[in-house]
Amino acid sequence: MSAALMLALALILDACFGEPRWLWDRLPHPAVLAGRLIGLADARLNEGRDRRLKGVAMVTGLVLLGWGLGWFISLFGWLPQVLVAAVLLAQRSLVEHVRAVALGLRMSPGEGRRAVARIVSRDTRSMQPADMSRAAIESGAENASDGVVAPAFWFLVAGLPGMLIYKLVNTADSMVGYRTPRHEDFGWAAARLDDLLNLVPARLTALVLAALSGRLSDWQAITTEARRHRSPNAGWPEAAMARALDVALSGPRSYDGQIRDYPFVHPAGNRNPGPARIEAACSWLWRLWGVLLAVCLLLSLL
């Protein structure tokens, strides 16, 4: 069976079942196992001298682990590969978490704040409804690339080993890829490799969203704002989603009690979006998924 057809089946399985609690209440999720491994490496290696070199060693080990594990699973045929790929995709769970913010906001600001705190790392205590809505939309756009398009892209390029390598590196970046005194050196390799692995998927995500929403004429503006973004990749899907919804995203926000004065993406857009715009973003996420599925099916026929 071709990689494209296996990926199509995995996309459908993930869309239908998402993250079944009955399974992950009984077994540790692969992301949890990866997190434990990376946490152990952080605790054991991230001390003393040569922290950047130790971080490079950790990332090299993760790449070798992902390749070896993916190769081993592939020996057992197409079904295990489809099942593992479905677990590593995050379409349904992403939409559910983003939509939960809209549902929470419709009940009360406090419920919205609790829902958005599950999907963003910034301070949420002083967030107003518009801030929560923007945060949910931004998270949806960024994670559509990180959690769906990028792992799918690397599955098509390098099969299950490529997808596992991507997920391990992406998890490492989310845990240690920060410019803090503890992680600036040790997390350098994880952050740089994650940037590299997301380079093409982030731009593809933006291109598809712009095409679907009829905003390809704004591509130059999307490119300009994406390059001004604090992240080399997250700005691309955010800028495209901002125009698909005609909302202003990014902008000032608080981390660890300090306000960061980030520029707005699509500053001419609506700066006070509400739950309806969050739900519209979820619709765009499903359309993006539909294009990805259609491409996989087309490639499988070719």
Write down the pLDDT at residue 122.
77
pLDDT digits (tens, 9 = 90+) for 221-271: 999 999 988 889 999 999 999 999 999 998 777 666 666 777 888 999 999
Tell me which of 222 and 127 has the higher pLDDT: 222
CB burial readout 162-184, b (16+ within 10 A) else e: bbbbbbbbbbbbbbbbbeeeebb
| Number of Cβ atoms within 10 Å of the Cβ of 10 | 25
pTM check: above 0.85: yes
Confidence bin at 20 (pLDDT 50/70/90)? confident
Write down the pLDDT at residue 219.
96
Distance of CA 119 to the CA centre of its chain: 11
Domain that holds residue 211: 3-301
Instruction: Report the chain's mean pLDDT, rounded to a whole number.
Output: 93
Give the sign of the dihedral formed by CA 286, CA 288, CA 294, CA 299. Answer: negative
What whole-number distance in Å separates Cα of residue 52 and Cα of residue 164?
23
Write down the pLDDT at residue 138.
94
pLDDT digits (tens, 9 = 90+) for 157-205: 999 999 999 999 999 999 999 888 899 999 999 999 999 999 999 999 9
What is the biggest distance separating any 2 CA atoms in the chain, rounded to whole angstroms?
54
Predicted confidence (pLDDT) at residue 279 exceeds the cutoff of 80: yes
- Of 246, 166, 244, give the one whose Cα is nearest residue 207: 244
Tally the domains of the chain.
1
